[in-house]
Amino acid sequence: MNDDLELATIEPERYEFFESTPKWETSRRDFFQLVGTGVIVALLVKDTSAQPPGDRGGGRGGRGGTQEIGAWIHIGEDGVVTAYTGKVEIGQNIRTSLTQVVAEELSVPLSKIQMIMADTAKVPYDNGTFGSQTTPQMARMLRRNAAATREVLLDLAAEVGKLDRTKLAVADGKVTGPNGVSFEYGKLTAGKKLMKVVANNPPTKPAGKWTVAGTSVPKVDGRLYVTGKHEYASDVRRPGMVFGKMLRPPSYGAKLVSVNTKDAEAMPGVRVVHSGDFIGVVAPTAFAADAAVNAIKAEWQTVPQISGKDLFKHLKEKAGQGGGGRGGRGGRGGRGGAPANPAAVEAALKRADKTVKGSFTIAYIAHFPLEPRAAVAEWEGNKLTVWTGTQAPFRVRGDVANAAGVPAENVRVIVPDMGSGYGGKHQCEAANEAARLSKVVGKPVKVVWTREEEFTWAYFRPAGVIDVTAGVKADGTLTAWDFHNYNSGGSAIQTPYAISNAITAFHGTDSPLRQGSYRGLAATANHFARESTMDDLAHAVGMNPLPFRLKNLKNDRLRAVLEAATKQFGWGTKPAPGRGVGLALGTEKGSYVATCAEVEIDKVANDVRVVRAVTAFECGAILNPDHLKNQVEGATIQGLGGALFEQVEFADGKILNADLTGYRVPRFKDAPLLETVLLDRKDIPSAGAGETPIVGIAPAVGNAIFQATGIRIRSMPMVPNGLPG
């Protein structure tokens, strides 16, 4: 691995909505204004975040070769260690895992560490919390940062005590030396204003020697949540705060013809803010704001829109046009792999003993973060503070600054640990709305999107069509692979199986609905199509799906998770009557997953219930086994929704199921028995785990349905209205 830490680059289909990304401009003096006295150690990292490779969509202009602060740590005279990072806690429990990493290298109790996260006035620039990058990037940075801080403390102790530095060590928040000499960290840092900026690689503990990292430390601030005391962005209240609400068009693309706001303006305490297409109200209560918006009389001219019934035809027809849809930039092509040779693939298909062919469809689905978009904006002169829930606070800062017409330096975005995102909160329109409303009315304004607004005006996981043709020899050797993805995206599009003749292509097209990132991106869709096809191939040559995969799989890490999952599951045991079993495997973001599922077919209701799912997962050295298990379980449940029944229905520019009655999400009754096998590879650097465990469940369930019924379902969701036929 490169010595210089590289910040996350934006993946081809990681949809980004913003151009403006001002950097952190805190000077040394500013540091101590923030913290008073003590010792600060800041970590310089090579900035590659600004340079997406030229052939990738998205991203920003190059600032290549520069260095910038990636993280910093302060130790005050009370011995409290404070680590600053731009990452956001979304429920993936990084506040805890990053605390563990700092505790490990600095040898301080967890209770003496606090993490300042995602406050743009205090933390280094960060391009956002997505792409499973916190563990491989930020945990690594903080580990180095904490180790460098430890070295500074050792230097200080040697100097203060006039001791041989090589005889000193750290333990339990102290530097200790010969003859019982010891210095508490707080004593070493008291009264100082010492700042060190480091770019070197101090020694860090190998994973095999971890005592705090690598253990199942409970959520560090769990008590705040079980007592209801944690303040999410939607809970923030400010003195004199009023409530804002926007007028929305009746359908996508509708143009405002005329508007009459008189009745709304006549309501007590209500102010209407109208500037071009921006029409909103503020009122003393959210109830009054609702009533005021409802009192606005607006006439709209609708514009024809593609409806759901024509979606898949449209995506294929428009292939090659547009870059992946409205609002975001699509990716282009799969990564890696040998140059495709269509003639060779065609010839290989002709030579194959058996071929299978399938066209898969993938519906739009909604993130449905339980906390909708929310923001509170407060102005003080021409300075603006916004509390909001977003995965990309610095991007939102730039966007809010643009919306409010002030320089980015005047805007502070604070992201309280948030009510989830799943890739759905790379931006936050509510922040722009609150900022603009607040600027006009001169009071702090809160805007919380309704569930209907969230379903209608946020963005969706891309829909898609995936066409696969594959060939196999009678002995089960894969020989030909032709895989075309329309609109879903390029993540994990390359097959991990050994195939000599393969074409794998992503085709950008025109997306009728606004689409963007989602947990795992298109890795879910691509794995669904690939692993369903693998089962069809096994079936075509009369092989069991497990030995068929092993025969074509060279990757040891994939083989290991497949073997672990099937062992735990008891693969090979005949399922009970009316039940079926299936398996699937996959890799993305440097982690590896295999899932086995058992389904029960309810013949009366013509429906499917997943009764058991076993997932084996490997992401290198594990930082927190219980939280990792929680992520794997959660991803499996979320993946079940998209596998079985979640889909956005739309027609004529309207979302037809923009509520929880119409849009079904997994509930207690849908949760199968879950078993998780974690493979801890202490010899391999930790990869992220928030996304990849989602990719196996859909194809495993599809394969289980096929085994039980002989029906191959090539749509996600598979059974929105029960089994087909």
Partner 1 sequence: MPTVQSLHVNGDRKAVDADGDRSLLSVLRDDLGLCGAKYGCGEGNCGACTVIVGGQRVRSCITRMSTVGTKPVRTIEGLATGDKLHPVQEAFLETCAMQCAYCTSGMIMSAVGLLEEKPHPSRDEIVKGMNGNVCRCGTYNRIVLAVEKAAGAMKGGAR
- CB-based contacts of 339: which residues, under 8 Å, 6+ apart? none
| DSSP code of residue 136 | I
- Going by C-alpha positions, the residue among 166, 148, 170 that lies closest to residue 158 is 166
Task: Kindly write out the interface string for residues 239-278 of this chain, putting x where it contacts partner 1 by CB under 8 A and - elsewhere.
Answer: ----x-----------------------------------
Q: DSSP characters for 464-475?
A: EEEEEEEEE-TT
Binding residues among 108-167 for partner 1 as defined by CB under 8 A? none
Which range, of 59-67, 124-132, 224-232, 574-582, touches partner 1 by CB under 8 A?
Answer: 224-232
CB 698 → partner 1: shortest distance, Å?
Answer: 14
CB 365 → partner 1: shortest distance, Å?
Answer: 12
Among 634, 653, 696, 702, binds partner 1 (CB under 8 A): 634
CA–CA separation, 677 vs 633, rounded Å? Answer: 11
Q: DSSP characters for 502-526?
A: EEEEEE----SS-B---TTTTHHHH
Q: Which residue has the tokens 């993938």?
A: 362
- CB-based contacts of 48: which residues, under 8 Å, 6+ apart? 6, 7, 9, 64
Among 80, 116, 190, 286, binds partner 1 (CB under 8 A): 286
Provide Rg for the chain, Cα atoms. 27
Among 30, 159, 172, 231, binds partner 1 (CB under 8 A): 231
- Torsion from C-alpha of 319, 320, 326, 329, nearest 10 degrees: 130
CB 266 → partner 1: shortest distance, Å?
Answer: 17
Which range, of 88-96, 545-553, 588-596, 703-711, touches partner 1 by CB under 8 A?
Answer: 88-96
Query: Which stretch of DSSP H or E encloses residue 354?
Result: strand 354-362
CB 128 → partner 1: shortest distance, Å?
Answer: 17
> For residues 58 and 18, is the Cβ–Cβ distance under 8 A?
no
Among 51, 234, 485, 647, binds partner 1 (CB under 8 A): 234
> For residues 101 and 142, is the Cβ–Cβ distance under 8 A?
yes
> b or e along 132-142 (b: 16 or more beta carbons within 10 Å of the residue's beta carbon)?
bbbbbbbbbbb
- CB-based contacts of 599: which residues, under 8 Å, 6+ apart? 579, 580, 581, 582, 608, 609, 610, 611, 701, 704, 705, 708
CB 27 → partner 1: shortest distance, Å?
Answer: 35
User: Is residue 87 at the binding interface for partner 1, with CB under 8 A as the rule?
Assistant: no
CB 708 → partner 1: shortest distance, Å?
Answer: 23
In the complex with partner 1, the residue whose CB is nearer, 158 or 233, is 233
- Going by C-alpha positions, the residue among 140, 210, 209, 154 that lies closest to residue 183 is 154
In the complex with partner 1, the residue whose CB is nearer, 298 or 671, is 671
- Going by C-alpha positions, the residue among 433, 414, 43 that lies closest to residue 201 is 43
> For residues 515 and 15, is the Cβ–Cβ distance under 8 A?
yes
CA–CA separation, 114 vs 96, rounded Å? Answer: 10
- Going by C-alpha positions, the residue among 80, 88, 87, 89 that lies closest to residue 111 is 80
Which residue(s) pair with 360 in the sheet?
Answer: 466
CB 421 → partner 1: shortest distance, Å?
Answer: 8
In the complex with partner 1, the residue whose CB is nearer, 150 or 446, is 446
In the complex with partner 1, the residue whose CB is nearer, 173 or 424, is 424
Q: Which residue has the tokens 């092989």?
A: 543
User: Is residue 299 at the binding interface for partner 1, with CB under 8 A as the rule?
Assistant: no
In the complex with partner 1, the residue whose CB is nearer, 145 or 638, is 638
In the complex with partner 1, the residue whose CB is nearer, 48 or 100, is 100
Which range, of 42-50, 183-191, 378-386, 629-637, touches partner 1 by CB under 8 A?
Answer: 629-637
CA–CA separation, 76 vs 69, rounded Å? Answer: 20
Among 42, 170, 493, 637, binds partner 1 (CB under 8 A): 637
CA–CA separation, 10 vs 599, rounded Å? Answer: 37
Among 91, 423, 496, 516, binds partner 1 (CB under 8 A): 91
> For residues 87 and 126, is the Cβ–Cβ distance under 8 A?
yes
In the complex with partner 1, the residue whose CB is nearer, 11 or 371, is 371
Burial class (CB in 10 A: 0-12, 13-18, 19+), 475: exposed
In the complex with partner 1, the residue whose CB is nearer, 162 or 669, is 669
User: Is residue 237 at the binding interface for partner 1, with CB under 8 A as the rule?
Assistant: yes
CB 195 → partner 1: shortest distance, Å?
Answer: 35
- CB-based contacts of 636: which residues, under 8 Å, 6+ apart? 595, 613, 615, 674, 693, 694, 697
User: Is residue 313 at the binding interface for partner 1, with CB under 8 A as the rule?
Assistant: no
Q: 236: which 2 tokens? A: 């923030």
Task: Kindly write out the interface string for residues 662-701 of this chain, putting x where it contacts partner 1 by CB under 8 A and - elsewhere.
Answer: ---xxxxx-x-xx---------------------------
Q: How big is the site for partner 1, counted in residues (CB under 8 A)?
A: 58
In the complex with partner 1, the residue whose CB is nearer, 529 or 597, is 597
- Going by C-alpha positions, the residue among 155, 187, 160 that lies closest to residue 41 is 155
In the complex with partner 1, the residue whose CB is nearer, 471 or 688, is 688
In the complex with partner 1, the residue whose CB is nearer, 549 or 629, is 629
- Torsion from C-alpha of 270, 245, 660, 693, nearest 10 degrees: -150
User: Is residue 227 at the binding interface for partner 1, with CB under 8 A as the rule?
Assistant: yes
User: Is residue 602 at the binding interface for partner 1, with CB under 8 A as the rule?
Assistant: no
CB 623 → partner 1: shortest distance, Å?
Answer: 15
Q: Which residue has the tokens 């909160």?
A: 425
CB 284 → partner 1: shortest distance, Å?
Answer: 9
User: Is residue 626 at the binding interface for partner 1, with CB under 8 A as the rule?
Assistant: yes
Binding residues among 412-441 for partner 1 as defined by CB under 8 A? 417-420, 422
Which range, of 337-345, 399-407, 575-583, 627-635, touches partner 1 by CB under 8 A?
Answer: 627-635
CB 704 → partner 1: shortest distance, Å?
Answer: 19
In the complex with partner 1, the residue whose CB is nearer, 526 or 631, is 631
User: Is residue 636 at the binding interface for partner 1, with CB under 8 A as the rule?
Assistant: yes
Binding residues among 490-519 for partner 1 as defined by CB under 8 A? none
CA–CA separation, 145 vs 197, rounded Å? Answer: 10
- Going by C-alpha positions, the residue among 456, 466, 464, 465 that lies closest to residue 514 is 456
Among 119, 155, 235, 409, binds partner 1 (CB under 8 A): 235
CB 304 → partner 1: shortest distance, Å?
Answer: 30
Among 2, 166, 573, 661, binds partner 1 (CB under 8 A): 661
- Going by C-alpha positions, the residue among 244, 75, 70 that lies closest to residue 153 is 75
Which range, of 112-120, 403-411, 467-475, 625-633, touches partner 1 by CB under 8 A?
Answer: 625-633
Binding residues among 191-220 for partner 1 as defined by CB under 8 A? 218-219
> For residues 249 and 256, is the Cβ–Cβ distance under 8 A?
yes
In the complex with partner 1, the residue whose CB is nearer, 563 or 670, is 670
User: Is residue 92 at the binding interface for partner 1, with CB under 8 A as the rule?
Assistant: yes
In the complex with partner 1, the residue whose CB is nearer, 77 or 433, is 433
- Going by C-alpha positions, the residue among 383, 441, 440 that lies closest to residue 413 is 383
User: Is residue 368 at the binding interface for partner 1, with CB under 8 A as the rule?
Assistant: yes
Which range, of 229-237, 474-482, 494-502, 614-622, touches partner 1 by CB under 8 A?
Answer: 229-237
User: Is residue 232 at the binding interface for partner 1, with CB under 8 A as the rule?
Assistant: yes
| Helix ranges (DSSP H) in 331-428 | 342-351, 393-404
Contacting residues toward partner 1, per CB under 8 A: 90-93, 218-219, 222-223, 225-232, 234-235, 237, 243, 285-287, 368-372, 417-420, 422, 448, 450-452, 626-627, 630-631, 633-638, 659-661, 665-669, 671, 673-674
